[in-house]
Structure 1
Amino acid sequence: MRHMVGPDWRQLFDVVIVQADKPSFFTDPRKPFRKLDEKGSLQWDRITRLEKGKIYRQGNLFDFLRLTEWRGPRVLYFGDHLYSDLADLMLRHGWRTGAIIPELEREIRIINTEQYMHSLTWQQALTGLLERMQTYQDAESRQVLAAWMKERQELRCITKALFNAQFGSIFRTFHNPTYFSRRLVRFSDLYMASLSCLLNYRVDFTFYPRRTPLQHEAPLWMDQLCTGCMKTPFLSDMAHIR
């Protein structure tokens, strides 16, 4: 930390704990906090308060809560493992949680490529057309619908393979969220590729949850408008997408 931040790095933190021995730190109340001196030697004095600028070793969550009085949503805890880091703190103690997902950086880079955006946009357009036009059952219409279904399936495979040829995205399997993605939403209030992502926001910035439309709801907000739910665009209007 001295080489990364500077000699006064301890002043950036209210409490510094090393070798906390997670995940037992969250569940085992028997391990007390011990203070380290300037040489890194372990002191055996009983800890009655956690002082800023000091370094403490091990300890447990129950003593930590008692000594700091940091409770519930006042705490935002970051971790890189959903179960050993975040689940218990969110479910049992009501902490706000932030998940660090390094793979997210690559996923975002892919979804911002022109190939992905064009493939997904046309796939959504085809889905909307299939939903609205399947009522036409004459021979010519069925032939067109079959061609659209085949093209849609090809696009689904293409967009999946952009992430990983075998498994696709870690967040989504075709249009459904993966098990990992559902657990991520369940146990974290925020997730990001790196803690440094927060440097783009003020310290008093508020992150609001996005409203995801249910199957029976019409998406009335533009950032989540899905082609086909409200109206079917004309093919001539969508020709430029391809």
Structure 2
Amino acid sequence: SVYKSPEYETLGFDLLKNKMVDIGYPAAIKDFVYDPNFPIRGVWFDSHYGNILKVDAFGNILVCVHGFQFMRANEMHSFYPNKFVQKDASRFRIFNTLYDLPVIYLLACIVDFFSNHPDYTRTDRGVKSGDILMTYQSIFQDVQTACEYVHDKDGPLKSETVKDLEKYVIKEEKLGLLLDRMRSHGGKVFLATNSGYRYTNREWTSYFDYIIVDSRKPLFFGEGTILRQVDRETGSLHIGSHTGPIQTGKIYSGGSVDVFAEMTGSFKKEVLYFGDHIFGDILKSKKGHGWKTFLVVPEMSQELMVWTKKKDLFEKLEDLEAEIGEMYRNLDSSSESKPDISHIQNAMKSSFASQVMRYADLYAASVMNLLHYPLSYAFRAPSMLMPHESTVDHMADLPLEVAPMLREVDGSTEDRRKNRMARSDSIVPNLYAPVPRQFTQVQEEDENSTESEPESQN
């Protein structure tokens, strides 16, 4: 399902607040109101210091926030002298899902509350009031407990959502059309959801060939669980493990991707998997099983709008990049002067963005974008230059120390090689690799497609 934002995040935040108060936290926490402009996916929570971090693909800290306080570089130094962190599951929690947005904001609210409350004194790893010590690690564990309760299959989040679907769930009128078109083109459409059957029990089941509920992703992509059939009338599970083929029109619970592939006869490269969880959906299915992946990133709509509205600012960034290049153009290792570029700042790619680009074959704000393409369309990403390629001046002459390293193999070179081989007495079958007459990298083709010479690709 695609949920309405910020209504759905607000619901989750309010339920989390209530549970934290039930656990024993101050009732004043209920005064916080969800702010959709604060949390973003991909941030890290440091349970040692209670900080929320935005990190790039290499572990460099881009932004550090303690509660609602955005730290300056000198303030960060006492926590992270090198402004660098490494992944450590025992210390850091990485928030990659849309469900995490209210959790991120709740952590910020609670940390800010205790850090600034006059009854509490800040320590290196938490806050203290009299004989009571609350570490950021314990606060995080309490939030995790509240989160597990709220998101339980019988928890309040699902029940409150079902009570008012119109308020919380976006109804895509053309989704059925897209699924029908996929099936009419020979595709098999399957659904693997972590939600239980009662939460997903609607007549939409006719749109899918195979349906698996309670899949418990990412466990589904690993060892999995017992595969059982669901009684469509009662929602209860049949006893024992299902061993026969998976049948169209039947509902199944649990299982694993290996069992699913074996029972359906699907092959790795033949599967295009849609998901909105970079770890539980995309990374696991891509790395472990070689599936093609489509990541749904609803935030893209907002981001594209910002790019459009703030076009002048992004053009200014490009101008500043060019300005940096001009400052260093005529300098080399003998130069003693240091250009002042302190007024020029460059936004760096976040860890979440790098994961999207690495593991998602396709990504878009909505799966409905596919309606605008023929189902035979071959998506291609624009060629990405390496840093040294993007700086080449094609109008300039190569330096002498580089030119001798270049070798060009043309038709005349190939002819000379053939003549040399004809005169040679060597028993080596092939003295040289033949020069390919066309690009050797071709698009993947279906196994049942007609074999032919691949066309040259530009």
Structure 1-normalised TM-score?
0.67
Report whether the alignment pairs 1:119 with 2:313.
yes
| Structure 1 residue 190 displacement after superposition | 1.2
Structure 2 residue corresponding to 1:107, chosen from 303, 319, 322: 303
| Structure 1 residue 182 displacement after superposition | 0.9
Superposed, which structure 2 residues align to 1:43-122 within 5 Å?
43-44=238-239, 46-113=242-309, 116-122=310-316
Report whether the alignment pairs 1:179 with 2:179.
no
Residue 216 of structure 1 aligns to a residue whose secondary structure is helix
Match of 2:210 in 1: 15
| Structure 1 residue 31 displacement after superposition | 1.2
The unaligned stretches of length 5 or more in structure 1 are: 138-144, 157-173, 221-228, 232-242
Aligned 8 A contact 2:228 2:252 in 1: yes
Letter in 2 for 1:212: M
| Structure 1 residue 197 displacement after superposition | 2.5
Q: Note the alpha carbon deviations across 1:52-78, whole angstroms, 9 max, x for none.
A: 122112222221111012121211112
Q: Note the alpha carbon deviations across 1:207-239, whole angstroms, 9 max, x for none.
A: 10221122221489xxxxxxxx779xxxxxxxx
- Residues 15 and 123 of structure 1: CA distance in aligned 2, closer, same or farther (over 3 Å): same
- Residues 134 and 201 of structure 1: CA distance in aligned 2, closer, same or farther (over 3 Å): same
Residue 42 of structure 1 aligns to a residue whose secondary structure is coil
Superposed, which structure 2 residues align to 1:1-242 within 5 Å?
9-44=204-239, 46-113=242-309, 116-132=310-326, 134=328, 149=341, 153=344, 156=345, 174-218=346-390
Q: Distance in 1 between matches of 2:381 and 2:250?
A: 37
Residue 53 of structure 1 aligns to a residue whose secondary structure is coil
Letter in 2 for 1:122: K
Q: Distance in 2 between matches of 1:135 and 1:28?
A: 56
Higher RCO (CA 8 Å, separation ≥ 6 residues):
1
- Residues 28 and 218 of structure 1: CA distance in aligned 2, closer, same or farther (over 3 Å): closer
Q: Distance in 1 between matches of 2:352 and 2:330?
A: 39
Residue 91 of structure 1 aligns to a residue whose secondary structure is helix
Aligned 8 A contact 1:33 1:60 in 2: no
Instruction: Flag the structure with larger Rg.
Output: 2
Letter in 2 for 1:177: K
| Structure 1 residue 134 displacement after superposition | 4.9
| Structure 1 residue 43 displacement after superposition | 2.7
Q: Distance in 2 between matches of 1:136 and 1:64?
A: 61
| Structure 1 residue 8 displacement after superposition | 5.6
Q: Distance in 1 between matches of 2:320 and 2:277?
A: 38
RMSD after superposition: 3.1
Letter in 1 for 2:264: T
| Structure 1 residue 119 displacement after superposition | 1.6
Q: Distance in 1 between matches of 2:213 and 2:275?
A: 15
Letter in 2 for 1:128: A
Structure 2-normalised TM-score?
0.37
Aligned 8 A contact 2:229 2:250 in 1: no
Residue 107 of structure 1 aligns to a residue whose secondary structure is helix
Q: Note the alpha carbon deviations across 1:57-110, whole angstroms, 9 max, x for none.
A: 222222111101212121111222221222221112100111122222211110
Aligned 8 A contact 1:10 1:52 in 2: no
Aligned 8 A contact 2:297 2:364 in 1: yes
Q: Distance in 1 between matches of 2:204 and 2:239?
A: 24
Letter in 2 for 1:16: I
Q: Distance in 2 between matches of 1:47 and 1:135?
A: 68
Q: Distance in 2 between matches of 1:135 and 1:83?
A: 42
Q: Distance in 2 between matches of 1:35 and 1:63?
A: 17
Q: State how many pairs are aligned.
A: 191
Aligned 8 A contact 1:213 1:219 in 2: no
> Percent identity at matched positions?
27
Q: Return the structure number with greater helix share.
A: 1
Residue 109 of structure 1 aligns to a residue whose secondary structure is helix
- Residues 131 and 209 of structure 1: CA distance in aligned 2, closer, same or farther (over 3 Å): same
- Residues 81 and 30 of structure 1: CA distance in aligned 2, closer, same or farther (over 3 Å): closer
